[in-house]
Amino acid sequence: MATHNPHKVEEFGAIVARVRPDLEVVGYDGPEPVEDGVTFAENALIKARAAVEHTGLPALADDSGICVDVLGGAPGVFSAYWAGHRKDAVANLELLLDQLADIADPHRTARFVSTIALVVPGGALDEHVVDGVWPGRLATAPAGSGGFGYDPIFIPDGQSGGAERTAGEFTAAEKNAVSHRARAFESLLPLLARL
């Protein structure tokens, strides 16, 4: 997995184990590439290509973020740096909540997007890109201590059985079954089966 983020490695490991327990997801220990793409796909490919170059092994890379409709899809690819170059998850979440403070619930729609790139080494690199989208809306205050990033303010669509919860209130197993990464990975399964 072309990331230095242990949360992503753990999350992907759990998602992969559900369907391909024979595959081991390991983190990337190489240099951090410059993510200068302007789309999730461009950044995912940058990371996967760097990992293949460094390790010689097939690499998966995820680029993901939260897209808020009233903000024209922002923060989007800038989700990790929304509050500045320090990559501060708490500051990012607080800034987004502040920006939406006067926005009424019906207009707080958002979606998590995950784009996964799979790059396989060989004579010519074999590259594949898939997307997963998890629709919902944003709460007015954080709830829950699970997950990471914007999870405590994201209320996924389609919940049943009582009060709605944020992704931060989901168990890891619940989130890994329905998240944007799980949805993207489902699209990747046919490609993995052919490799």
Supply the pLDDT for residue 21.
Answer: 86
Supply the pLDDT for residue 118.
Answer: 93
Note whether residue 17 is domain-resident. Answer: yes
Note whether residue 88 is domain-resident. Answer: yes
| Total domain count, the chain | 1
Supply the pLDDT for residue 37.
Answer: 95
**pLDDT (tens digit per residue) in 64-122:** 999 999 999 999 999 999 999 888 999 999 999 999 999 999 999 999 999 999 999 98
User: 18 pLDDT exceeds 90?
Assistant: no
The reply to whether 180 sits in an annotated binding site is yes
The reply to whether 28 sits in an annotated binding site is no
Q: How far apart are CA 188 and CA 54, in angstroms?
A: 23
The pLDDT-based confidence of 124 (bands split at 50, 70, 90) is low
Supply the pLDDT for residue 146.
Answer: 87
The domain spanning residue 12 has which CATH number?
3.90.950.10
The reply to whether 43 sits in an annotated binding site is no
The reply to whether 181 sits in an annotated binding site is yes
Nearest to 61 by CA among 91, 105, 28: 28
**pLDDT (tens digit per residue) in 145-194:** 988 899 999 999 999 777 899 999 999 889 988 999 889 988 988 887 77
Note whether residue 144 is domain-resident. Answer: yes
The reply to whether 64 sits in an annotated binding site is yes
* Residues acting as catalytic residues: 63
CB-neighbour burial class of residue 56 (10 A; exposed 0-12, middle 13-18, buried 19+): exposed
Supply the pLDDT for residue 123.
Answer: 67
Nearest to 61 by CA among 194, 193, 184: 184
User: 8 pLDDT exceeds 90?
Assistant: no
Supply the pLDDT for residue 17.
Answer: 82
Domain residues for 44? 6-194
What is the average per-residue pLDDT within 50-63?
A: 92
Note whether residue 16 is domain-resident. Answer: yes
Q: How far apart are CA 109 and CA 155, in angstroms?
A: 9
The reply to whether 6 sits in an annotated binding site is yes
Note whether residue 1 is domain-resident. Answer: no
Q: How far apart are CA 34 and CA 42, in angstroms?
A: 11
Note whether residue 34 is domain-resident. Answer: yes
Give the rounded distance of the alpha carbon of 164 from its chain centre. Answer: 21
